[in-house]
């Protein structure tokens, strides 16, 4: 069975190989390729809503955002595991994180044609954003299937590790994605920058969105 089939169909076996250090070179190489190709394909589809240069921008930025998140998050994942009594080596954490992210990226790759077809058939801006968000949620669930099987330990330790790692991943990926925006751009937009000027942080954006949702527009501004 190839590494791709292993990651997709047998997440428990992929997690075991990562944590036990078995054939890591092939698993890591395949995971990296899956992350780059899967994220690039989905990013290009999201960029196709605007078309033109935004397709290339989004296809380049999504793998970059995911890899940057892993580069920042993996040391934190290792520290969390050690603090919670997990017997992990750093190599195992790297391999497990890559295998988890690869499975999520492959799910994005599988969902990309459906989103592309919907956009081509005239899916509206906000509906496209919602569909892309749903795809990311499904990919996250798929990635979590590998991660949870690799955590090991008692039920409470496993749950605490999963919650802590997921929280770090969400915060880091959110900030990385915020820095590299725009992603989904309206077709009537004339000039699309590779990245926008800095406007606070991801946390600031969440706070402003929360205030706007409650009708407190002056405070949000």
Total tally of structural domains belonging to the chain: 1
- Provide the whole-model pTM: 0.86
Stretch 62-77: mean pLDDT: 93
pLDDT at 213: 46
Cα torsion angle, 211, 213, 215, 217, sign = positive
In which residue are the tokens 């690039």 written?
40
pLDDT at 58: 96
For the cut 90, the answer to whether the pLDDT of residue 197 exceeds it is no
Structure tokens at 160: 């605490």
Q: Which of 163, 176, 203, 171 is nearest to 80 (CA)?
A: 163
- 24-47 and 53-83 helices, crossing angle to 10°: 140
Domain that holds residue 92: 3-220
pLDDT at 121: 94
Higher pLDDT, 56 or 81: 56
What b-and-e string marks burial along 10-19, b requiring 16 or more CB atoms within 10 Å of the CB?
ebeebbebbb
Mean pLDDT value across the chain: 86
pLDDT at 151: 76
For the cut 90, the answer to whether the pLDDT of residue 198 exceeds it is no
Q: Indicate the DSSP class of residue 118.
A: H
Query: Rounded distance, CA 144 to CA 150, Å?
Result: 10
Max Cα–Cα distance, the chain, nearest Å: 58
pLDDT at 204: 63
Q: Are 146 and 100 in contact (CB under 8 A)?
A: yes
User: 3-class DSSP state for residue 187?
Assistant: coil
Q: What is the number of H-type helices and E-type strands within the chain?
A: 9, 0
Structure tokens at 148: 């949870």
- 24-47 and 11-20 helices, crossing angle to 10°: 130
Query: Rounded distance, CA 87 to CA 150, Å?
Result: 11
pLDDT at 206: 59
pLDDT at 45: 97
Stretch 37-45: mean pLDDT: 97
Q: Are 142 and 101 in contact (CB under 8 A)?
A: no
Stretch 131-152: mean pLDDT: 88
Question: Which tens digit of pLDDT belongs to each residue from 76-130?
Answer: 988 888 887 777 789 989 999 999 999 999 999 999 999 999 999 999 988 999 9
The lowest-confidence range among 15-24, 134-143, 192-201 is 192-201
pLDDT at 209: 53
């Amino acid at each position: 069975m190839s590494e791709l089939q292993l990651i997709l169909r047998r997440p428990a076996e992929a997690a075991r190989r990562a944590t036990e250090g078995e054939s890591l070179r092939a698993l890591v190489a395949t995971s990296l390729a899956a992350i780059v190709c899967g994220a690039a394909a989905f990013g290009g589809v999201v960029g196709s809503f605007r078309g033109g240069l935004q397709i290339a921008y989004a296809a380049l930025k999504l793998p970059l955002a995911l890899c940057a998140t892993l580069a920042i998050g993996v040391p934190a994942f290792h520290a969390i595991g050690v603090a919670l009594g997990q017997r992990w080596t750093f190599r195992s954490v790297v391999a497990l994180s890559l295998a988890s992210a690869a499975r999520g990226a492959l799910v994005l790759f599988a969902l990309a044609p459906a989103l592309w077809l919907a956009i081509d058939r005239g899916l509206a801006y906000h509906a496209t954003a919602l569909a892309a968000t749903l795809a990311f949620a499904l990919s996250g669930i798929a990635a979590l299937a590998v991660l949870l099987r690799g955590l090991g330990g008692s039920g409470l330790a496993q749950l605490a590790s999963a919650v802590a790692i997921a929280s770090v991943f969400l915060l880091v990926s959110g900030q990385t994605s915020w820095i590299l925006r725009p992603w989904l751009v309206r077709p009537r937009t004339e000039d699309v920058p590779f990245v926008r000027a800095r406007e606070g942080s991801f946390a600031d954006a969440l706070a402003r969105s929360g205030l706007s949702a409650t009708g407190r527009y002056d405070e949000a501004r």
